[in-house]
Structure formats: structure tokens, C-alpha cells
Amino acid sequence: MTKIIINSDRLLEDLHSLRSFGCSGTGVIRPAFSAADISARHWLIKRIKAAGLTAKVDPAGNVFGLPPSSEKALLLGSHSDSQPQGGWLDGAYGVITALEIARASLECGGPPIAMVSFQDEEGRFSTLTGSKLFSGALTLSDADKLTDITGTSFSQARLSMADICQSEFIDPKLFSGFIEAHIEQGIVLDQANQDIGVVDSIVGINNEKFSFFGQQNHAGTTPMQLRRDAFQGLVRFTTELNLALADIVIDSTVWTIGHVQLHPNAASIIPGRVDFNLQWRDASDKRLTAMRKVIHNCATRISTELELGLEHHSFSSVPATVIDPQLMDQISSATAQLATDRWRHMPSGALHDASNLSSVMPVAMLFIPSIDGISHDFAEDTAIRHLILGAQVLAASVSR
Amino acid sequence: MTKIIINSDRLLEDLHSLRSFGCSGTGVIRPAFSAADISARHWLIKRIKAAGLTAKVDPAGNVFGLPPSSEKALLLGSHSDSQPQGGWLDGAYGVITALEIARASLECGGPPIAMVSFQDEEGRFSTLTGSKLFSGALTLSDADKLTDITGTSFSQARLSMADICQSEFIDPKLFSGFIEAHIEQGIVLDQANQDIGVVDSIVGINNEKFSFFGQQNHAGTTPMQLRRDAFQGLVRFTTELNLALADIVIDSTVWTIGHVQLHPNAASIIPGRVDFNLQWRDASDKRLTAMRKVIHNCATRISTELELGLEHHSFSSVPATVIDPQLMDQISSATAQLATDRWRHMPSGALHDASNLSSVMPVAMLFIPSIDGISHDFAEDTAIRHLILGAQVLAASVSR
């Protein structure tokens, strides 16, 4: 077995170089196809070439570093675009870790390791746009019609990188599998004082919008017993749903009412309508479906009991991702050696590019801790020793 | 006793004439000091003069019709301004009823009856602005600083009526009492199939804004047991408050959460903050205060149990209005004769000009039904027989 030894100084130096593109204070402003994002991708291509890898950019702006080998390579990576106002590690950590390991493996005659930085993971046009295109979940002609909030289309945006993009996508069959290293973006590892999370599943997400309709009325002249108050309907629904779901969920299941809009939303008027969004996530698609049934039953029961109208709008569903057991075992073994007992298996509550790639190759993921669980925020950070340990674990996982 | 006999054809004709100012379909658009409102007041002055009454307009634009008598007169009336898009009877009914009864009493040699149309009851500048000024609850120099939502000041607005306004307010001591006839603006009479409501109290209103503060976080990566979700706090608070208030309220007490704002109000983010408005109304100031204590205790308990921050903002309070027992008895007797058993005593859940006048003279009110309880809407309406019956009851109440 050739053991891949990473150069942690070089890793940290490259991480800080990538951070400088779009840097604002401690965070970054580097949305997909922004000037900062394109400059960062140009810099990345230089680093790929300097490492002795072949740089290729597909029509979506996904940047690959391919090893000089006829064998199938293991692909590592993540994304280098950021939230409109994001942290410096979300995506960037997985990209630079991949670069360092591909480079180190080439230097020491290790196995063929390729790296990638996907484009528009953070959803300027659509979530995980670059990996959707690479994996075939989205066609380029459909992607080209997508627009950002200012009305700029994906086809217009990618023109700004056209000079370095080739006309064809990279064939996923070139790769034996994909491993993504990422910050946790949650508080579980930090709070448990653990160093590494080996991802055993990426949750599926169901999202559904509902409205309860009551009778808008004067808040002074309408007795309580004659009211049909849409907000009170939402309160009853939320309370009873929490109880009903408790019977069928596991510890890692989550559900959230994050958006609520009352109509007309005035102090002296009984709400005649409330729109709200319910989102639920779980690693089992079967459980997601069972939850949906409980949610619908509960909403229907409340609407009947309180004489409220009920409408469902725009259900959307992203299925749970199956993690490849063999890749996960390789990561678990390496983690057990390097992090002794300070690690855990855990689900990923957030979507990642690995979700899309699971349809075309085996995938796995590992997490390093986020300090205080903060992400999508300038304050996002991770201890230096965890930045290095994550790369060491991943390097050990892919050595063979 | 001189019995005042109203002319119901003339009553309905005047009601329809007033409706024509700012008429839009079946409703009216006649906010205070709008061109339609000023035209309506000019028309009203002509009708007052034609009735043999003396027309006087005070600096606030309140229009009075005074009888030729040295005795104290009983004042009847309401307001002729409307909501920005209002119904045709809200206020107008009480004004035209007062005009008809003052006119009819003069014709038959009855007691001295004065009438009034107050200005800006509907709150372009401040709720019940005209009657606040008449009763001394607001000074003209303070009123002049009030502005509407476009930034126009009360002092600017009243310039448009300056040619017909006298420089002094009318002395409330000229009047022995005030009775306001009004549509119910609620569904109680209509649903009970009753013809008249004799108001036994006008509720006091307490209004308070609160915020719960939790921890804004990712809806996928934050386990349920580590969440501090501000919206879930509001749900718990609302549920427990409903139970706690049930122990200390009476049938006519009402409380409403009509305004809710989540932050950041996004599907995938756990709400870090929720602002909401709680309003409660009751005819007893003592009960209003007791309710406030229950509300505060409940909010504090929830904030402690769920580890949420709690802030109270901008409490406001309008005290309950005491109805004069003698005036109420006169109305009750007249009602019992004309509406047999199809009437009730009831509180007014809405504020009215009578609330302000109660500080300077005895006041009373009577309600006629609103079809389906609809008000502040073009669809506001009342059966013709109720329009006539209300005026007959009021005329009989003030005959002596």
C-alpha cells in the first residue's frame, strides 16, 4: 500500500489563497459566475496544472483536475462558489483537500486521484446546478433557461467563462467513486467534542406549502365562539403535528415551519388566511412518505374541526442518498485510526453535490466540525487541527 | 309627551344622497377631508339649514346642526367619513338618523335635539380624531402635527375646509347627553335573528407587541432537541394562553393575534425571532388588567421553558366606556315596545365616537344588524326595515 502523506502547510496556504477571492472580512462573497468566482476558478486551474494534473472545465464551469492515468480515478471534491454572503470553508474545504490529496498521491506514486470544484452548488440558479449537469439530472438546455433573482439566465452567466470551458461534459465513467469532505454546518460534532463525522446517509427533503382559510373579521365585534381564525388553525396544527410525528420519527429526523404569512396581518383583524411552509428531512424515503401522510391527516383533521379551508401547494421532494458501504468502511477505518474514539457515524442533514453523484457512481462523505455549528455566515470557522485532520483521514481512506 | 314621528322615506332618501358622495359600486371611498368627504359635509350643511337647524362647523371639521332653543339639547350623531374603501352605512347611518330625528322633533314641537357628524372617525390621522378634539382628549395643536400615511398633516388637511369652519369648538356643555346609532359591524344580531342591540358598554382595548428570540439556524443540520425555534415558542404561548385566559374571561371577551412576523421567514431556516401583536378587549378595565397579568406570566413561563428571549414593546390601552344607565333605560324601553322580544343588551366590541364623549356628557348607543356581520367592506349592508326600525327606536327613546 502506498500511503499518501499530505502537506498540511500547502493545504492551509491554498485554503487561504482561495479565501482571498471575494474575501470580505472573515467571510467570502463568491456566488457562482461572479467575478470573484471566475477568478478563483482561474487560480484553481493554475494550481491544478502546477500539481501535474490536467485541468478541464466543462460547459457548466465545473473545474476538474485529472491524473495522468488510464485507470479509473477516484474523484474527490466539492464546490468553490459561495452563498451570497458566506463562510470561507463551505465547499472550499472539500475542493482544496481534494487538490492536496490528488497532488500528494501523484507525488508519491499513489493511486489515481482526480479532483473537482462543482459550480453553483449554493443555488444562484438552482441548488447543486453543476453536479446536476455532470450527473445528467439536468440537461444543459434546461439549465440555460434558469434565471437568478435579477433575471440573469444560466446561459448568459456561463458566457463569462466560455473562453476556458470545453464543449463536452466529462464522462462520469472515468471515475470509480466520489468522496466529498465538508464542514458539518451543524453543531453535533462541536457539541459532542468530536473530530470527524463519517456520513452514513444524506437526508431526503420533502417540502410542502399549505394554506388554512378562515373568515377575516373585526377583532372587536366577532365573539370568540363565532371566529374562524386561520392563525389559530396553524397553532393547533403545529401542536398536534409535533405530537403525531413524535411517534414515527428517529432522533435525526427534523421538521421545520420556517415561513408563515398571515392575511391581512393586521393587529385588529382576525386572520382570514395563513400560508405556511413545512419542510421535513430524514435519511429514509419511507419515513419521509409516512411523515407526509401524518402531516396531511393532521391538517385535514384540524381543517374539519375548526371549519377552515385547506389547500396544499407545490410539494417537492429530494430523495435520500445511499452512501456506498465500501467507501464508508474505508473512511471509518481511517477515522478510527486517526481520531481514535472522537468520531461518529452521522447523517448529513444538508444536501451536497455527493447527492447528485450517487446516481452515477458510489459516493461517500466525511465531516469536520463547525465551531458553534455556524455556517452560511461570515462567522463560519473550524479549528486548524480539524482542517488538517480531515485531510489526513481522507488521504488515509483513499491510500491503497 | 310629544312623540317624534320620523319620515322614513326622507330618512332613506338622505341616506342614499350621502352614499352618492365617493360612491364606488355599492360602497364608498370617503376618507376624512377627501374631496368626497368635504362635498358630503357641504351637502349636510344644506340639509341642516333646510331643516331649520343652525349649521356650525368646528375647527376639526365636525359638522353640527343645533336647534333654536335656549335649553340644553340632546346630541345625536356619528361620523360621515369612511374607511379608505368602506361600506355605505358605517357612520353615515347614525348621522342621517340624527338629522331626521332633530328635524322631525323641530317639526312636531318636540324636545331640542341637536345632531353631529364627527370628522376622521376612521383614523386617517388618528382614530376618532374629531370627537377627541370636541371632547378635549386631544388639543388642536397636537392634532395638527398628526400625519396620514402619505405624510399629509392634519393642519394641511383641514385647510381644505377652512372656508366653512369657525375658529372655536362647540362647548360640550350645550348638550345634555349623546346617543349614537350605528350598524353593529358584527354578526351577533344577524345570527340571533334580532332587530336591535342596546349597547350596555363599549369595550376597552389593550394592545401589546411581543418578540420571542431563539437561535436562527439551518433547518437540515440542527437536531430537534438542540433547536431554539422562536415560532414554536409562539405556538406554545398561544396554546397555553388560550387555556389560561379561559379561566378569567366572559363570553364577550375577545383576544386576537392578528399580526405575526417570522425572521428570516425562509423555508430552510429555523426562525430566530418572531414578532407578534396581541390585542384583547373587554368591557371591564379590571378584567383587561387581569388578562394582561395572565398574558405576561404565560409569555415569561414559555420563554423560560424553551430558553427563548422575550421582549415587550409598545403597550397601549383604551379604557372601557361607561354607558349612562338612564339613557340606556330610555332606549331599552323604546326598544321593548317596538322590537318586542327581538333585541338584546350587548357590549360594543368596536370603539365609537361615543367613547370620547363619555368624558364630557352621559352617552348611550344602539345597534342595528349588519347582514352577515360584514363591515369595513363594500358588501356592508342592513335590511331596509332595520334602517327604519333603528331610527324609530331612537326617536321614541328621545321623545318626552
ipTM: 0.85
Q: Is residue B175 part of a domain?
A: yes
Mean residue pLDDT of chain B comes to 95
Residues A177 and A272 in one domain: no
DSSP for B265-321, please give it.
--TTEE-SEEEEEEEEEES-HHHHHHHHHHHHHHHHHHHHHTT-EEEEEEEEEEPPE
Boundary-marking domain end, from A290, A318, A346: A318
Cis peptide before B111 (omega within 30 of 0): no
- Which of B212, B215, B218, B269 to substitute to test the interface with A, most A CBs within 10 Å? B218
pLDDT of the residue at B331: 98
Which chain B residues are Cβ-neighbours of A191 within 8 angstroms? Answer: 226
Burial zone of A7 (CB within 10 Å; 0-12 exposed, 13-18 middle, 19+ buried): middle
CATH number of the domain at B282, please. Answer: 3.30.70.360
B27 and B93: one domain?
Answer: yes
Q: What is the pLDDT of residue B212?
A: 98
Are the beta carbons of A207 and B235 separated by less than 8 Å?
no
Q: Give the best residue of B217, B232, B256, B275 to mutate against chain A (max A CB count within 10 A).
A: B256
The answer to whether residues B198 and B237 belong to one domain is: no
Are residue B195 and residue B230 in the same domain, yes or no?
no
B245 reaches A (C-beta below 8 A): no
Residue with C-alpha cell 352618492? B20
Query: Cα dihedral angle (B194, B198, B201, B204), rounded to 10 degrees?
Result: 50
Closest CA to B297 of B371, B237, B225: B237
Tell me: do B250 and B282 sit in the same domain: yes
Look at A375 and B349 and tell me if their CB atoms are within 8 Å.
Answer: no
Does B129 lie in the same domain as B275? no
Cα–Cα dist A381/A39, whole Å: 23
Q: Residue A400 above 90 pLDDT?
A: no
Mutation pick from A149, A187, A202, A221 vs chain B, by most beta carbons of B within 10 Å, is A221
CB B81 within 8 A of CB B122: yes
B235 and A232 in contact by Cβ < 8 A?
no
- Is the domain of A96 the same as that of A169? yes
> Residues A148, A214: one domain?
no
Grid cell listed for B160: 381644505
Interfacial A residues in 197-226 facing B (CB < 8 Å)? 203, 205, 207, 217-226
Q: What is the CA radius of gyration of chain A?
A: 23
Most A CBs within 10 Å: which of B221, B245, B252, as the mutation test of the A interface? B221
Q: How confident is the model at residue A378 (pLDDT cuts 50, 70, 90)?
A: confident
pLDDT at B281: 96
Residue A261 lies in a domain: yes
Task: Identify the segments of chain B with pLDDT beneath 50.
Answer: none
Domain count, chain A: 2
Q: In DSSP terms, which residues pair with B364 in a beta bridge? A: B179
Quote the minimal CA–CA distance from A223 to chain B in Å: 6
pLDDT attached to residue A84: 86
Residues A58 and A136 grouped into a single domain: yes
**pLDDT confidence of residue A159:** 96
User: Is A1 among the domain residues?
Assistant: no
Q: Give yes or no for B85 touching A (CB within 8 A).
A: no
User: In sequence order, which residues have a C-beta less than 8 Å from that of residue B283 and are 6 or more positions away?
Assistant: B200, B201, B202, B203, B204, B252, B320, B347
- Which of 264-323 (A) contact B at CB < 8 A? 265-271, 277, 279, 281
Within a domain: residue B184?
yes
Quick one: A158 and A216 in the same domain?
A: no
Å between B265 CA and nearest CA of chain A: 4
Chain B: residue nearest A273 by CA?
A: B258
CB contacts under 8 A, B 326-385 vs A, are: 348-351, 373, 375-376
Which tens digits make up the pLDDT trace of A93-134? 999 999 999 999 999 999 999 999 999 999 999 889 999 999
B3 located within any domain: no
Assess whether pLDDT exceeds 90 at residue A85. Answer: no
Mean pLDDT of all residues belonging to chain A? 95
| Beta-carbon separation of A258 and B266 below 8 A | yes
Rounded distance between C-alpha atoms, residue B27 and residue B89, angstroms: 9
Using CB atoms, pick whichever of B185, B231, B277 lies closest to residue A257. B231
d(CA B260, CA B274): 7
Residue of B nearest to A267 (CA): B258
Cβ distance A221 to B185 less than 8 Å, yes or no, reads yes
Q: Which domain holds residue B210?
A: 204-318
Residue A209 has pLDDT above 90, yes or no: yes
pLDDT at A69: 87
Residue A357 in any domain: the answer is yes
Domain end among B293, B318, B343: B318
pLDDT at B291: 98
User: Residue B215 — φ and ψ, nearest 5°?
Assistant: -125, 115
CA atoms within 13 A on the CB side of A392: 16
What percent of chain A stands above pLDDT 90? 90
Residues of A in contact with B349 (CB under 8 A): 218, 220-222
- Asked if residue A168 and residue A125 are part of one domain, the reply reads yes
- Chosen domain end from B318, B350, B372: B318
Q: Which residue has the higher pLDDT, A229 or A377?
A: A229
Same domain, B332 and B297: no
For A348, which residue in chain B has the nearest alpha carbon? B221
Q: Which helix (H) or strand (E) holds B268?
A: none
Q: Is the peptide bond before B264 cis (omega within 30 degrees of 0)?
A: yes
Kindly state whether residue B124 falls inside one of the protein's structural domains. yes
Number of A/B CB contacts below 8 angstroms equals: 172
Establish if A114 belongs to a structural domain: yes
